[in-house]
Amino acid sequence: GAVVSQHPSWVICKSGTSVKIECRSLDFQATTMFWYRQFPKQSLMLMATSNEGSKATYEQGVEKDKFLINHASLTLSTLTVTSAHPEDSSFYICSARGPVYEQYFGPGTRLTVT
Amino acid sequence: QKEVEQNSGPLSVPEGAIASLNCTYSDRGSQSFFWYRQYSGKSPELIMFIYSNGDKEDGRFTAQLNKASQYVSLLIRDSQPSDSATYLCAVKLGSQGNLIFGKGTKLSVKP
């Protein structure tokens, strides 16, 4: 299957700072990427859909000014958590859409805000 | 509201048995169906997908689709403790729709 990478795999930051997470499709071009958040023992929660060259579409309840998404190329999407707070601590996972609408997930980024 | 329903489990089966994971969906317009496996603390990985009614086999995995009943299942033959994970069903709506994920079924394979 296709490979999607994420960087960093884990990050610890202080409350009030911003953190950028990168998601790359390594062996295919992805016009559409997705960002999910998952709290311990809970299901995936879709945060936003990101299309190359256009603004991301955010799910209801997700603050677009807090979670900035940029999809500037067919292989890279970034999620920036601005002014992070402890309640933003979570497992953030990106995925890239494949040719038959399947999604390939990155390995995830574990964010801890202290 | 388009929904994908899965029994949360846990489903416990002995090693070597067949594990049967079920998923129902609400939208008759759904076209493609996907199964993912997610180990604890890891991200989901795609196991297989199915479009047509009937069975599709890949190694120890068999996906079964019944569009009339709006039902898709995943069978795991000769279950191994390493199969213990949460299995997510995902459904694509229409020709341009995103995947809608179920909440997953936790499978535990006992040695």
CB contact under 8 A, A101 and B101: no
Angstrom CA distances, A98 to A54, A107, B5, B13, B71, stand at 18, 16, 24, 33, 24
What local confidence, expressed as pLDDT, does residue A3 receive?
A: 94
Under DSSP, the state recorded for A101 is S
CB contact under 8 A, A44 and B88: yes
Tokens standing for residue B71: 């039902």
Query: What is the C-alpha separation between A71 and B15, in angstroms, rounded?
Result: 44
Tokens standing for residue B52: 């047509």
Burial grade of A99 (CB within 10 A; 0-12, 13-18, 19 or more) = exposed
Work out the percent of chain B whose per-residue pLDDT is above 90.
Answer: 84
Query: What is the C-alpha separation between A36 and A43, in angstroms, rounded?
Result: 10
Best of B35, B40, B43, B45 to substitute, by most chain A Cβ atoms within 10 angstroms, is B43
CB contact under 8 A, A105 and B43: yes
Distance between A66 CA and the closest CA of chain B, angstroms:
23
pLDDT value at B12 more than 90 = yes
What local confidence, expressed as pLDDT, does residue B95 receive?
A: 67
What local confidence, expressed as pLDDT, does residue B94 receive?
A: 72
One pLDDT digit (tens) per residue for chain A, 114 residues: 689 999 999 999 999 999 999 999 999 889 899 999 999 989 999 999 999 888 899 999 999 999 999 998 999 999 999 999 999 999 999 999 988 888 999 999 999 999
Give B55's strand partners.
B64
- With contacts defined as CB-CB under 8 Å, which chain A residues touch B36? 105
- Are A12 and A29 contacting, i.e. CB atoms less than 8 angstroms apart? no
- Are B47 and B62 contacting, i.e. CB atoms less than 8 angstroms apart? no
- For B49-96, the pLDDT digits (tens) are 999 999 999 999 999 999 999 999 999 999 999 999 999 999 997 766
Query: What is the C-alpha separation between A109 and A47, in angstroms, rounded?
Result: 14
| Among B83, B100, B102, CA closest to B7 | B102
